[in-house]
Chain A
């Protein structure tokens, strides 16, 4: 039998061999000469689970817990892995509407169909407990633990601050942050972020196509344990803080109370304030916007950021400078000459002590003139330039005109004008004392931050020195102290002069004709100084004080914005109540307390205008 086509077997064999060779070559290409697929395989079959550390706890000065953490849960979804979902059942189980489901799902899909992203954030323990046992039925969903801040008492919002999701600039600055991490955005949460945040832990697990965990990767060799944040022991006295906030309710202004011997801040209030629990959890975004839109600016920390004309309280500092320079003596007297500058009716002051008590404007006009124009130069312009520089240096040493190095963010410096400032305004050699005399009584170009006012009270209380005000005493399990807050800051002014100031301030409260008698607390030697700062609206009411006169325990500044009345009317009685609360533990004068709590000194102004009623936090 002749088979003329038998050579065609070779063609067929060649085809089979060729395909075999192509396949082996392709396998070599994929498996030996390419690392791409190995990396891709790892990326999709392993999951890095971040274990978030508990943020550091914050205590008050008596060990009461101010901030702790609560566990919440983020419901994560991998949209591609969601299979055969009974949407109605799912929605009913976790308590959302069909519309919400669509919104969340689309958002997750928009992020990525195959990478996990939060479906619903910050679900409370209670909510999670209700459907935890059903979760296994929903392919593609899993839960990640997070912690949230909880404030057992809704106080000290401006000191404690709040945390929020990290933004891009922060992530660029510090690579330890990843998208979705929480960082301190204000208050001590921000300043002590590095201590509070702790260290994130990590768990590497193998997952299947439905994002279900199969088991640890290489027996947990790549896992790390999270390290909780450090504990912070703050200087705040929770009871005093709460009390001061109560007194400042319905008002705009602020209170700063210090312990003079240490610079520790006992209470720091900026009114209106807000409940710190509002800025936590799922309601945070909406509440934050409401607070931001509120025209009374509750998020604005007046105690550190408000730059106000100090008014008459400034006279205390002026007197100290003049005495130290020797341009006046403690017994210098000046006639209350209202032609120089307006004043209220009172007898002329015969000494510095009397001048402080009566807060005589013409007296301090004369004092300031002697400081600015000391007669070192014939030319009054040159003389004023010299005098201003000398004066400014004193002011800087007393903590004015520069930002005090407090451990809270965004503190302002206020303004003590220098020669450059006036030269720019008026031109060099074109201004003298007569141009700038308003500074003498705390008006004009000077601006002071309430924290600096309280610091002035502390300086007088200490008779000439201070410690930088701060809100954290120490941190960590071994009570680490922060060095800079234990360094004495000297003003360089003789203590005896401050004695005179203290006596004058005692008379303000206790003397006949004193402007601050409403700050009087029975049985306590309160020293104070009123201030009535003029501005565009109604006068601001200011009062600085310390008590007791000998061995002072508390120094404070109270600032009430746009109060109809002077420092003696509003700020002084509030100071008295705070001092009584702190020194006696309890306020006996309930009627006074009630009066100042309830009264709204600036009723004409819309105090708070909420854009929307704040959404109530689901927790306490």
Chain B
């Protein structure tokens, strides 16, 4: 059956059928973020909250612009996004290529185009564009995600922008594109992708922390246990497959060192070493995370009170208004404040999963899951990094971190989905 996506004319009732819970959670996060940027950059000269010379002042301006973007998005014809998905994607790729030539260097990354009044970070919008285009592609009627052609095209659509971003030395943003594995999984990509990823990460960490032969022993033990304790019927084929898995694991374990030494940059190696506790350099590469843990840990249960943080007030934590904004929450809000932020995010993400599930078109559902996944990866990497659970990868906390590009991009990403959701009823 050919599936047709048509929309009825909009009426006043359906305009108000937006998911207000999602909008509320979004608003709460943005406002909470802004207060924390104010606290993080608080100084006697910039006491006034609407001071445009200060970062919180600028952030308020960006919130205003983001509100306009959100409003426009909610009142725009929703078909525009599905119809122009490929065009938007092409524009985003073009911008990424352009960035390679026009970029200004900020913090060692070359991902910013200076527009004079504002520095644009095209990689932020590339996520949105890729989500749209991939949703459009997967939603097409003749595409089967488990066919090799389908997988190849989907992979290319993800890897091209990711590769371009990697060329800008923005590893963090490139890594976010891994998020698209989740919506693909939801649409039927084999579960072995997730299992494979989990096993690979585990083996990678084990290979770095433990002796390689011990890791091989563990793998062997798991394989034998699988064969003789789990399986009731063992054919020649299962023996062969298990053996193959074991050999591949061993090769992987031994290549980890090579990959670690040759593929990763020195600072990335150090960050991983610090995370795994192999080096304890609180003054050098481990400084950020150590200070961030001090700031959060010293917050205690109640926190030190708004504007009363001693570590964040004294600039001990670098990047504390952008990537390390969560430190301010931890120090001044304590366990109550920071756990509340985590719960707000989890609530938003679970709400978005629910919205995605109630979509009737594959396009909308896939797009919804893309939004969930992108936000989730940011949330996971950023807070994980600040808490010392994930290596230091510089990506912002959505809606929270200081920065116009990221706020606008995330707002656009989210509100396009809210708009799609409000129109699901009109879908025939």
Contacts and interface: CB of A to CB of B under 8 A. Distances in A.
Given A5-B186, A209-B315, A30 B353 contact: no
Given A12-B186, A206-B314, A209-B314, A37 B294 contact: yes
Interface stretch (B4-12, B149-157, B206-214, B379-387): B379-387
B310 A206 contact: yes
Given A16-B376, A23-B387, A37 B296 contact: yes
Interface residues of A, number: 42
B345 A20 contact: yes
A292 B200 CA distance: 70
Contact of A20 (B194, B298, B313, B343): B343
Contact of B293 (A12, A30, A42): A30
A13 B350 contact: yes
Per DSSP, chain B at the interface is: helix
Nearest to B334: A31
Interface in A205-230: 206-210, 214
B342 A23 contact: yes
A27 B316 contact: no
Nearest to B298: A41
A20 B283 CA distance: 30
Given A8-B186, A13-B353, A16-B376, A38 B313 contact: no
A41 B297 contact: yes
Contacts of A45: 310-311, 314, 316
A405 to B, nearest CB: 54
Contacts of A27: 296, 330, 335, 338-339, 342, 387
A195 B315 CA distance: 43
Contact of B383 (A6, A23, A206, A210): A23
A34 B299 CA distance: 11
A22 B384 CA distance: 9
A7 to B, nearest CB: 10
B301 A31 contact: yes
Contact of B353 (A16, A37, A114): A16
Interface size class of B (residues with CB under 8 A): 35 or more
A22 B389 contact: yes
A44 interface: yes
B113 to A, nearest CB: 27
Interface string B326-345: 00001000110011001101
A428 interface: no
B273 interface: no
A435 to B, nearest CB: 74
Per DSSP, chain A at the interface is: helix
A32 B293 CA distance: 13
A26 B383 CA distance: 10
Contacts of B314: 45, 206-209, 214
A32 B300 contact: yes
A5 B335 contact: no
A31 B297 CA distance: 4
A80 interface: yes
B346 interface: yes
B346 A9 contact: no
A17 B314 CA distance: 34
Given A12-B186, A16-B350, A24-B339, A31 B299 contact: yes
Nearest to B357: A9
A113 interface: yes
B334 to A, nearest CB: 6
Nearest to B182: A12
A12 B372 contact: yes
A20 B346 contact: yes
B296 A44 contact: no
A45 B313 CA distance: 10
Contacts of B330: 27, 30-31
Contact of B296 (A12, A31, A114, A214): A31
A210 B353 CA distance: 45
Centre residue among B299, B314, B356 by max chain A CB count within 10 A: B314
Interface string A378-415: 00000000000000000000000000000000000000
A289 interface: no
A16 B346 contact: yes
A173 interface: no
Contacts of B387: 23, 26-27, 30
Interface in B282-318: 283, 293-301, 310-311, 313-316
Nearest to B301: A32
B350 A40 contact: no
Contact of A24 (B293, B310, B342): B342
9 contacts: A12-B182, A12-B372, A13-B350, A37-B298, A38-B298, A38-B300, A40-B297, A113-B283, A114-B283
Interface of A: 1, 4-6, 8-9, 11-13, 15-17, 19-20, 22-24, 26-28, 30-32, 34, 36-38, 40-42, 44-46, 80, 113-114, 206-210, 214
Given A9-B353, A23-B384, A42-B298, 9 more contacts: A11-B185, A12-B353, A13-B350, A16-B372, A23-B383, A24-B342, A30-B297, A32-B300, A208-B313
